[in-house]
Each structure stands twice: as C-alpha cells, then as structure tokens.
Amino acid sequence: MAIVVRSIGKTDIQVTSLGFGGAPLGAVGERISDDQASAIVTAALDGGIRFFDVAPLYGHGLSERRLGKVLGNTSREQFTLSTKVGRLLVGEDQGERNAQMRDREPVSIRYDCTYDAARQSLESSLERLGIDRVDILLCHDIDVWTHGDAQAGIYETAAQGILPALADLKSEGVIGAFGLGVNEWQVCSRVMDEFDVDCFLLAGRFTLLEQEPLDEFLPKCIDHQISVIVGAPYNSGMLAVSNRKRATYDYKPVDDERWQKAQRIREICDTHAVDIRAAALQYPLRHPAVVSVIPGVWSLEEVQANLSLFEATIPAACWDDLADAGLAKRLD
C-alpha cells in the first residue's frame, strides 16, 4: 500500500494516508531526548509522511514544542498539522499531572471545555509549536472512556463551549477543519447529529482487533461525508509485540480473551507470510471512511518499520481467511 493524499471531509485539507501520532514525543510511556525526537520527526518527513497529530496533553506541551522545532523549519505547505483543545496547561499547583506522562514540564492540566478556553488553548498551542496555524483542531477526550460518570456534564459544557468555538474558528478561516479526538465512537455519533464536523480521530476502536464501528458508525460517517482518522492501530501496542509481558491494551495489561484473539490473528497472518503489524496498519484504510492511520512512534527504527510495513503487499487470501475465521470483518 503506497502513501497517498486524501481529503478531510468536504474541506480542502489533505492528509497522508500514513500519519504520525505525536504522543511519544511528549514522553508518553517512556522518555526520549530532544535530539531523538527531532530525528524521528525528520525521518517521518523524509519517508513521505506529511500529517502530524499532537495535543497539549502529550508531555504537558512537550510534544508540541518538539514537533514544532522540526516543522518550523519545513515549508508550511508541505505538512498538515492537527492539535487538540479541552485541556489547559496551567501552573503546577493549579491542576493535575497526568501519570502516563514522564516529562518534566513545570505545568499541570486543567479540564476546560468552555468557549473561551478553546481559543486560549489554540493560542497557547501555536506559541509552543512556533507555527502560524494548525489545519485541524480537535475537541479532545469528551468520552465516557476518559470521564466515566462525569462525562455527561463534560459533554454538555463542550456542546455549549468548545464545539461552537471550533465551528466559529473554521468559519473565520483560522482553522480548516474540526472534529473530535476520542477513544470511543458513540460520542462521535452523537456529535455528528448535533454539529457539522469534518472528521473524527478515533483511537483504538477500529482496528484489526476491533470492528464494532463497522455496523453503524462508519456507514453514518460516509453518509455525512465525515472522515475518520484511526489512532492507535496497534491497540496501544498489543498488535505490535509477540511477548505478552510487553503487551498492553488501552494502556493496561491485556486480558486473556483479547490476547488469545490477537494470537489467532497472528497465526493466520503468519500462514500468508504477512507481518501482523502490516495488517494492523493497512486494515482500517480498506474502509472508505478512513483517510489516515497515525501510529505513535518512539524511535527511528519504528519510523522505518512503519514505512516498510505500510508498503508491504498483503494477499487477498489473508484478508479472506481473517474474515472467514470471524477475526476481522470483510471490507470489500
């Protein structure tokens, strides 16, 4: 599968079918140095990746700064950039630190889904990035997956605050597209009914391992001409490793049922001499609603591996066998 350029919804914004998930640049899970981060982003650019996604959450702003350091020296017309709103970075004693982040940034996080906070967050992101604009702005983590029982209140605030703010920013020409960046499809479906959004960044829910969105959500996206960007195509690493001790699902230890399903997928891929990681990267893009997959990258080796895996040839028989085994639904 070659890297191609695809449009976001009905907009003029374009993304490459293989994108770059910027969370690891913010020391999510493990630390990398500034020099390593620059080398990773440069290698992605050199490999033809032109779509980069970050968020204030990732390393409490560190990911945005590191990405901007490289992209700031790249022609602005040569890349598409998305970031997110919904969390403000505040003083260390004014919010909470995210335990998954291993950065040393002297700030904390405060959830704020109000109208003014969306604009404030964008301005702060542009300062950290050192770039004059972002192309896609996403309302971040207003799902039950993140907030549990508090989600209803978070959603109502966002529906009266962030989402109207994003619509206004688009109409003003400040951004080119907007939507959600979340970990579940149900909240996307609700937003689709209430707002004229352009895209959803859906992490971990439409993958080689999980296809629940196929039944209702993805057809609805096609009907509304809304694009889907798939984050976490390896399901937070579970489809990328063979050692269970290193495997996680939704950033937690893998349960037996999901691990066994992943191994059955791996076995079928092996019979066709297909790397399961290649199948995981390519599977979501076989659906017409999906415009890009954006795996997170922790090293130069992972950049090169993703580029190679993305271009690998996967025989139709492999997809057929996965479908016949009830593991990955048929998409053609």
First to last CA, the chain: 16
The Cα–Cα gap between 213 and 220 comes to 10
Which amino acid appears at position 202 of this protein?
A: L
Chain Cα centroid distance, residue 185: 13
Pairing of strands 5-7, 14-16: antiparallel
The answer to whether 155 is a known catalytic residue is no
Task: Check residue 234 and give left, alpha or beta (phi > 0: left; psi -120 to 50: alpha).
Answer: alpha
Marked catalytic residue, from 10, 12, 34, 53: 53
Pairing of strands 80-85, 87-91: unpaired
Backbone angles phi, psi at 206, to 5 degrees: -130, 95
Give the up-direction half-sphere exposure of residue 211: CA atoms within 13 A in the CB hemisphere.
20
The answer to whether 135 is a known catalytic residue is no
Which structure tokens are listed for 37? Answer: 């981060």
Quote helix, strand, coil % in the chain, to nearest 5. Answer: 45, 20, 40
* Burial class of residue 4, CB neighbours in 10 A (0-12, 13-18, 19+): middle
The answer to whether 58 is a known catalytic residue is yes
The Cα–Cα gap between 100 and 68 comes to 22
* Burial class of residue 328, CB neighbours in 10 A (0-12, 13-18, 19+): buried
The Cα–Cα gap between 125 and 123 comes to 5
Marked catalytic residue, from 10, 34, 46, 84: 84
Give the up-direction half-sphere exposure of residue 140: CA atoms within 13 A in the CB hemisphere.
24
The Cα–Cα gap between 309 and 259 comes to 22
Which structure tokens are listed for 209? Answer: 């391992």
* Burial class of residue 106, CB neighbours in 10 A (0-12, 13-18, 19+): exposed
Q: Which residues are catalytic?
A: 53, 58, 84
